Homo-oligomer: A and B are copies of this chain.
Amino acid sequence: MSVLKNDLLLRTLRGEKTERTPVWMMRQAGRYLPEYRVLREKYGFFERCQTPELACEITIQPVDIVGVDAAILFSDILVVPQAMGLEVQLIESKGPVLPDPIKTSNDLTRVRVPDVQETLGYVFDAIKLIKQELNDRVPLIGFAGAPWTLLCYMVQGKGSKTFDEAKAFCYTQPELAHQLLQMITDTTIAYLKAQVAAGADTVQIFDSWGGLLSKDDFENISLKYIRQIVAALKDEVPVIIFAKGAWYALEEMAATGAAGLGIDWCITPQMARQFAGTNVTLQGNFDPAKLLSPIPVIEREVKQMLKAFGPSHHVANLGHGILPNIPVDHAKAFVNTVKEYSHQ
């Protein structure tokens, strides 16, 4: 087995003290990069996901261009509903559309727990190629959506501010909802295990819509299933949970055995540490919109963030995905400030 030249992220996730804070950015392989936009012009979204050479090139772009300490697989959380049998359309300017969403028990017969090698083999091929091309420069992060967030799209059929139809599905047909959540969970465990087998060094679970739920609902509809996923993976690789907005469950999320917890900018590092306890690594939490500030403001605010988190148990990141209109120089200023300032 080969040895990573830069394993800052993995050591930080294991709770070790490191010479500086590792840094990466959610959606770092994305539209703010001109090099990505060139490929986006030429190939459709799923073509980019399903062609290992393209996924590999896109995944590695921010490592080369911005100098982040980890690569994250270029893919989308909705490849899982797709593998489970639902049609998913991804028109990037419009957001995702699932033309035949799940509304009834009859709809559920269209969904299956698939053989992930058969349906998602292209992801594992991409991971193998990325690992080869990365050549041990930095670790590779695999990922999947949390079952609740995937249910949101599978039931609502499209993006939403409130996902009220997805919630109503859970409130009015709880047995059906739990059956679907368990199917997503089983698929996700197999999917993430195969990502690890293919070479992913760590995995992140994205619960983008966790923060729409009350604390009780989050436990019942979301965390119950995330817990199963963490339990199945954590002895193989460090697992990061990012449940955006679900600050109220940091304590419970830390208790799952996750190595890292992502937080957004609406909670202070001090509060997050208080809720999450001392053992878990926190990841975040720069406001992505703040990368539109002048570079000196970015530098000042990044330093403040690093000071607030302290020198260990912290992975520097944004509190959500980088926005498409961020100048590349501003992204570099974010990354470089973390590298330089946390080293001191």
Instruction: Specify how many copies of this chain sit in the oligomer.
Output: 2
A122–B113 CA distance with the chains assembled, in angstroms? 60
Q: Is the CB of A292 within 8 A of B211?
A: no
CB distance from A327 to the nearest CB of B (A): 11
A162–B212 CA distance with the chains assembled, in angstroms? 15
Inter-chain contacts of A268 with B (CB < 8 A): 214-215, 248
Question: Known interface pairs A248-B266, A268-B248. Does A289 touch B323 (Cβ–Cβ under 8 Å)?
Answer: no
Q: Among A164, A172, A268, which residue has the most Cβ atoms of chain B within 10 A?
A: A164
Inter-chain contacts of A297 with B (CB < 8 A): 171-172
Q: Is the CB of B245 within 8 A of A164?
A: no
As a 0/1 sequence over residues 243 to 269 of chain A, the CB contacts with chain B under 8 angstroms (1 = contact) are 001111000000000000000011110
A167 proximal to B (CB < 8 A): yes
CB distance from A177 to the nearest CB of B (A): 12
Q: Is the CB of B266 within 8 A of A172?
A: no
CB distance from A211 to the nearest CB of B (A): 6
Question: Known interface pairs A164-B323, A266-B211, A323-B164. Does A292 touch B171 (Cβ–Cβ under 8 Å)?
Answer: yes
A213 proximal to B (CB < 8 A): yes
Q: Which of A136-179 contact B (CB under 8 A)?
A: 161-164, 167-168, 171-172
Q: Specify which of B162, B172, B266, B294 is in contact with A288 (CB 8 Å cutoff).
A: B162
Q: Is the CB of A168 within 8 A of B294?
A: no
Inter-chain contacts of A224 with B (CB < 8 A): none
21 A–B contacts, CB within 8 A, in A order? A162-B288, A162-B289, A164-B289, A164-B323, A167-B289, A167-B290, A168-B292, A171-B292, A171-B293, A171-B294, A171-B297, A172-B292, A214-B265, A214-B268, A214-B287, A215-B266, A217-B287, A245-B245, A245-B266, A246-B266, A248-B268
